[in-house]
Amino acid sequence: MVGRKVGIVGAGFVGATAAYTLAMMGTCREVVLFDIVPDVAIGKAIDIGQATAYSPKGTIVTAAKTPDEMRDCDIVVITAGVPRRREMTRADLLIINAKIITDVVGNIKKYSPEAIILCVSNPLDIMTYVVHKLTGYDRNRIIGMAGALDGARMSYQIQKKVGFGSGQTRAIVIGDHGQNMIPYPEISAVGGVPLDQIIGKTDMEDIIANTKEGGAEIVKYLKTSAYYAPGRSIAVMVEAILDDSRIVMPSSVLLDGEYGYKDITLGVPVVLGANGVEKIIELDLNDEMKAKIDVSVDSIQEGVDVLRNEGFFS
């Protein structure tokens, strides 16, 4: 891609960390931040821009004060949203964030009509579905970032447990980006050695449980959700798309018959390249894994139905 211009909508913890990581990696020519609170985007763009004095390539980091100033991006990352407050139900949060996504997507369609969209806002799979429905774009252009982060969290747990293989751990998590996510130890490995040949059943169960709790553990300490690993995960996916590197990365994508489902988003392994999703990889799942996928899909469908009943897709 010639432009290598990335827009990030939502300059909060995750969006700004993604921008900073991209700038430090030297992945893009230009990163543009937009936030509904313009001063947040402006201040962080200045700070990150100053940090690029020591980055490998001089990435240009700017802020868009209004949505029309974020134009002609090759990729737009959506990290806009509100956190859940005590008085909100899950359905309340879903509806508020879906309204934000509606607003954001309207601007992307207007000002960056060719962009690939990387959705990060939660609840992830449902928001990614909303982006599909509101854009009507080919499904390869819309990708939800979840498996990259959950896989990183699982790698971290494996690393902690086995105590060797630093940087060599590859872990795969599929399904939804919530309570029913599916860490998949049978196809995870350290230095190419299958995990089940290194650790026993109890350790494996610990890794699965700790991976699922990965986000909540951080909230317990920080009282806010994570941003370093999410930011890095976004940057890795952006880089794969801009470089057309065709890495395999579990991501939330719209299924059209794969895994026995249609018209629902779900985290599955995909090949990431210049067209976004180059290919969806269909794993040959046993009955136990298929049952887990069904539970994941049901939980996503439940959220989609809440929005459908609110008239979001009509």
Which positions touch ligand APR (CB under 6 A)?
Answer: 9-15, 34-37, 40, 79-81, 83, 100, 103-104, 120-122, 225, 227, 230
Residue carrying the six token digits 């893009």? 28
Closest separation between CB of residue 92 and ligand APR, Å?
14
User: How far apart are the C-alpha atoms of 292 and 201, rounded to whole Å?
Assistant: 19
- What is the dihedral angle through the alpha carbons of 215, 211, 273, 54, rounded to the nearest 10 degrees? 60
From the list 177, 185, 239, 272, the catalytic residue is 177
Closest separation between CB of residue 25 and ligand APR, Å?
19
Q: Nearest-CB residue to ligand APR?
A: 12
Residue carrying the six token digits 């309570």? 179
Residue carrying the six token digits 């049978």? 186
User: How far apart are the C-alpha atoms of 160 and 156, rounded to whole Å?
Assistant: 6
Question: For ligand APR, which is the closer residue by CB, 129 or 261?
Answer: 129
Angle at 243 between CA 238 and CA 248, to 5 degrees: 70
Question: For ligand APR, which is the closer residue by CB, 135 or 275?
Answer: 135
**Plot region of 191 (φ>0 → left; ψ -120 to 50 → alpha; else → beta):** left
Closest separation between CB of residue 303 and ligand APR, Å?
13
Q: Indicate the residue type of 247.
A: I
Asked if residues 115 and 7 have their Cβ atoms less than 8 Å apart, the reply is yes
Closest separation between CB of residue 289 and ligand APR, Å?
26
To the query of whether residue 132 is one of the catalytic residues in this protein, the response is no
* Residue positions annotated with a catalytic role: 177
